[in-house]
Copies of this chain bind each other. A is one copy, B any other.
């Protein structure tokens, strides 16, 4: 092929372009493109610090933010692995406000009780949009009162991974709390005074954000002695701060098994249904959470597996110390851990070779071959359910936003058996409604609702209903159970909502499953 040529900086004659391969850039010195002026990702609006010769360690937060190229209207992200102890988000928001940057989109993996500053940051114009899995406290009240001009977008954990990977959420600068970070930028969540276990949600941000800043209170010599959660090549800058937060709230104590008789009765019913389903055999997989009846279900499962010499395939999800113990005992061959629920998990994450730290896409991106799609059984909690088996985990009885979508709809859809455990009455209010206030998990993906008063099986699952009845379980029609409960409680007046939409609930696949309205 005869080609139009030019001479590069070392005197070599090279083609300017090749049909079929496109335009070619002549070599201009080994380090000419590494000064940060050439953006390796043409779409990136933020600045990659030239790695070679770049000073990765920033002097302070303000310098790091400036060097990142953060500007008005951009999107910032955080992870919520530091739970209710997180000081990273508040500290960064303050630093951003001091720099006068406005109109940001806030796209954390979720918001916790530690993030109340967000409500005021919205009022001050620092934050204009929010994408999150959950909201709590004042943030929820602020949104439900209609104080945000642009409605909040609620996503599931798998939906967030999908949204980021498909570019629906495009993070410009990710600020990632790193319980330990080495001088090359390798991060781990499982050691350090602010250890929190895995950094599964943060891995998605690290991989996809235009610019990544590791915020650490434990900077160590490279290389990290073990277990890298996020590798150096995804990290553009490191900032050393005094503390990532309140250690007592980051490293929350091990979840305890409920002693509440209602929860124990629910757990027993749920376990009986799992056993009746026939899914509890060698190789079976489970996700159970930490709240309410969940851990008690895990206890029944554990006892049964021991007695019957069953070895499970894997446990996934938010992992508790209880699940880590089951791994240690050999009851699971592996744990796939996107989020560690309590401090008891940390040692297992750091030390057990089959305790695998997974990212949110591995966990639940619906358009990937995510692991929730290989799940046998999931046991989930709820705020309310309805006669169509729809589940609300977002709005309270007063209509105010106060929950989190989490992995709820992801695991319900992916698993072979999804069980919602819920007390039939809470604070005098019945839990089964004609229609939930806010659909997070659509009823078609829910197999059974288990209360202390009986088990309701989705009419789509005649097979499961037959197994349950054959096992002598207290199966009830959901309409009849609802009437039975309302006989005791009466029917509460519905919350009065305004027409104004203050939030939308995105389903895991990116479609909108419901709206959240302003409370009157």
Point out residues on A near B: beta carbons under 8 Å: 1-3, 5, 8, 10, 12-15, 18-21, 24-34, 38, 40-42, 48, 51-52, 54, 56, 128-129, 149-151, 153, 162, 165-166, 184-185, 221-228, 231-236, 283, 313-314, 333-334, 336, 353-354, 356, 358, 361-362, 365-371, 373-374, 388, 390, 409, 413-414, 439, 442-445, 499-501, 504, 507, 509-515
Contact = CB atoms under 8 A, between A and B. Distances in A.
Q: Which 6 A-B pairs have the closest CB atoms?
A: A40-B367, A233-B368, A27-B513, A33-B509, A27-B511, A51-B369
Contacts of A358: 231
Contacts of A5: 501, 515
A223 B29 contact: no
B353 A223 contact: no
Contact of A150 (B21, B165, B366, B501): B21
A166 B41 CA distance: 6
10 contacts: A2-B499, A15-B151, A27-B507, A32-B511, A51-B367, A51-B370, A226-B354, A232-B369, A233-B361, A233-B371
A166 to B, nearest CB: 6
A512 B368 contact: no
Given A15-B501, A226-B354, A414-B52, A439 B314 contact: no
Contacts of A371: 184, 232-233
A150 B48 contact: no
Contacts of A499: 2
B150 A1 contact: yes
A2 B129 CA distance: 16
B356 A228 contact: yes
A33 B27 CA distance: 46
A368 B51 contact: yes
A228 B359 CA distance: 13
A13 B513 CA distance: 9
Nearest to A507: B27
Contacts of A31: 413
Given A54-B369, A231-B358, 15 more contacts: A1-B150, A13-B515, A14-B512, A20-B128, A20-B150, A21-B153, A24-B511, A30-B507, A42-B166, A52-B414, A184-B371, A223-B356, A225-B354, A226-B353, A233-B369
Nearest to A25: B511
Given A166-B42, A358-B231, A444-B30, A222 B374 contact: yes
